[in-house]
A and B are shown apart, each in its own frame.
Chain A
Amino acid sequence: MQFKDQVGFIRQHIKKNKLRVFMTVLAATMGTAFLIVLASVGFGIHETIRDQMLSNRLVTEVQVHQSEESGDPGEHVEEIKKLAHVKAVVDRQQLGTNQMSLFGEFEGNHVLVVTDFKEEGKVGFALKEGRLPQNANEVVVGSHFTDYLYSEEETESGDFKTYEGDLIGEQFTYRIDDVEGEFVEEELTLTIVGIGENPSREWVSDRNIYAHDAIIPELERIHYSDHVTGSDDHPDASQLFYHDVAVYVDKLENVKMVSNALRDKQYYVFSIADELEQIDVFFLALKAGLVFVGTIAILIASIGIFNTMTMAVTERTREIGVMKAIGADPKLIRRLFLMESAWIGIIGTVLAVVISYAVSAVSNYLLPIIVSAALGEEDFSELNVTFSVIPWQLVLIASAISISVAMISGWRPARKATKIDVINALRQEL
């Protein structure tokens, strides 16, 4: 029998029992939609939490800290760079002392960071304007540098006056305190040669002053200028700066390998990938649980399919007998019934997918509004919380489960149809 004729045969039978088939399709649709929507909540919460975590930190970044056994990672940057899959090692040295910048009439509250611009460039440090520093007196300022300049003078509207002119080429003075905590009279004059790119996160402010490592001896000399040389508490440069070492890995999947290599060197290591891994495992279990619960709904729907197909076989016993008598292959009979149950499964699944996407979209739109209204928190709807996400993998899993269950439900009735005895079937009354 040609496939087209088999489809026609099934269509004709479905037409004959429209209501019963409709109710069965409805049950299959509801079961599958329940599975998809239920699991989509797991996917939605997982995605929201991942987004929240990833939006604050770089996913390929591994923060390296000193342990009692390891020594300062800042002292071993070159060694760390040699590890496999390490793209860059950024050793940002921050001053551990009070500092002040004076920009004309403005006083600034900035943080001086000494860094290796070559390494910074590898991980996306870019300039909005100007160029990188080439000597000890040249600096790049963060994009929010002017936001942290304050003037005693107030504007007409009552706000503090801020600097609104150009920065490139401008000079400012920079002061730090001494070992006693008093600001040293000697000032450094620094020239702004570049302005950093805005941070990718809108809410992050960059008020740093990025300087070349050639500035370190100057700062040390100023900081320890009043110190009595040769005394027992001889200054140690490492006390003035503290290292903030971040290792950047080439790919996310290699983060774990690099983290382990650093752990082997006794460093304390933190990476978002470690945290993500634990969260992913938890959500994988949660999603599997939700799919399992949803599958129970499909199994309940399968009882409907089983009943419908059993009824169909019983009602068509004589017809099946006639078909077998005139020469229909038992395999063809089984295929026709399996195709009918698969059709119920497929239509049910297609409808369920459409309905699930609609439910998902509506819930993502309405739930934040409802929750914020109920809790009285207006900001909730702006938090970008995703309640339900339906990835294609979920659609694939749900479809496979639904269609398989439909076919398994139809298997026994289909087998029963092939076992129908021709002689008994032909004896049935019309």
Chain B
Amino acid sequence: MISVEDLNHSFKIGKKGKEKRVPVLKRVTFNVQDGEIVSIVGKSGSGKSTLLHIMAGFMHADSGVIRVNGVETSSFNEAENAKFRLDNFGFIFQNFQLMPGLTAFENVELPLKLKGVNQTERQQKVQSLMQHVGLTNVQDHYPNELSGGQQQRVSIARALITDPPVIFADEPTGSLDSETEQDVLLLIQSLNKARNITFVIITHDDEVARTADRVYTMRDGELSEGGMHDAV
């Protein structure tokens, strides 16, 4: 499904002219199989979010190759990346990243609007998905009128609405209490089973990592298979 080969990346830091290059990803190589949940764990600053950003096409790596379903995405330009994301990826963010001026329904509808789907089809798809994730009763609420768990459900629904084969989740439960965290993790697992969606979850939480089929650990820019404790 996703193959990452020999990915290297470094950031420039310091004043202009006196910049230093700090490596954040070092020869990262791994694969994600179709329909599996993979979690990448690591401490803050270990490079796990950078890895997700590069895999999602938000930025380019210094070197290395990424393939999604055999398509080399690492050579895409910005517009090609945007199109590929719209068709193949869904995103779940730690702080939900909902549009404050749109209702829950409209937030979920947004990717379909970007794809140019007509209104009738949009209405049907969003309605059905809202029902599936249990948001029908709050569909006309604005994000600031929803609880954290509800907002993350809206965010998950928005990620699912285009039926993407892959969903990237960046600390999906980071802003939630433990009870809501369990709800969201169960939802992710059920969606993975029911729809065969591949999940790549970035987390520093072992609890979240345990829901994954495979766990990778990122430490100082180097990736290794196994949980944090295993790695240690």
Interface residues of A (CB under 8 A from B): 1-2, 5, 9, 12-13, 16, 318-319, 321-332, 422-423, 426, 430
Contacts and interface: CB of A to CB of B under 8 A. Distances in A.
B69 to A, nearest CB: 16
Given A2-B113, A319-B101, 6 more contacts: A12-B101, A319-B100, A323-B110, A327-B111, A327-B114, A330-B78
A325 B114 CA distance: 12
Given A330-B82, A423-B59, A319 B99 contact: yes
A12 B118 CA distance: 19
Contact of B82 (A9, A12, A327, A430): A327
Contacts of A2: 113, 116, 118
A328 B93 contact: no
B131 to A, nearest CB: 22
Contacts of B114: 1, 323, 326-328, 332
Contact of A331 (B58, B79, B113): B79
B59 A322 contact: no
Nearest to B117: A2
Nearest to A324: B82
A314 to B, nearest CB: 15
B216 interface: no
Given A1-B113, A12-B101, A422-B58, A325 B78 contact: no
Contact of A327 (B59, B86, B95): B86
B53 interface: yes
Interface string B93-116: 101011111100000001101111
A428 to B, nearest CB: 10
A298 B98 CA distance: 38
A330 B79 contact: yes
Contacts of A423: 53, 58-59
B111 A326 contact: yes
B91 interface: yes
Contacts of B111: 326-327
B9 interface: no
Interface string B68-90: 00000000001100111111010
Contact of B91 (A16, A325, A329): A325
Contact of A426 (B93, B101, B102): B93
B48 interface: no
10 contacts: A1-B115, A5-B113, A322-B99, A325-B58, A325-B97, A327-B82, A327-B84, A330-B79, A426-B97, A430-B95
Contacts of B115: 1, 327
A326 B99 contact: no
Contacts of B56: 325
Given A1-B114, A423-B58, A327 B99 contact: no
Contacts of B116: 1-2
B7 to A, nearest CB: 17
Given A332-B114, A423-B58, A326 B158 contact: yes
B221 to A, nearest CB: 17
A321 B56 CA distance: 13
Contacts of B113: 1-2, 5, 9
Chain B CB within 10 A, most for which of A5, A327, A331: A327
Contacts of B82: 324, 327-330
Contacts of B97: 318, 321-322, 325, 426
7 tightest A-B contacts by CB?
Answer: A327-B86, A327-B85, A422-B58, A5-B113, A322-B97, A329-B82, A327-B82
A390 B99 CA distance: 46
Contacts of B83: 327, 329
Contacts of A430: 95, 100
A322 B101 CA distance: 13
A50 to B, nearest CB: 54
B101 A329 contact: no
A326 B59 contact: no
A324 B84 CA distance: 12
A16 B100 CA distance: 11
Interface string B133-144: 000000000000
Contacts of A319: 99-101
B13 to A, nearest CB: 15
A63 to B, nearest CB: 70
A326 B110 contact: yes
A321 to B, nearest CB: 8
Chain B CB within 10 A, most for which of A328, A330, A331: A328
Contact of A326 (B78, B86, B100): B86
Nearest to A425: B97
A323 B102 CA distance: 13
Contacts of B101: 12-13, 16, 319
A256 to B, nearest CB: 57
Contacts of A5: 113
Chain A CB within 10 A, most for which of B79, B97, B102, B111: B97
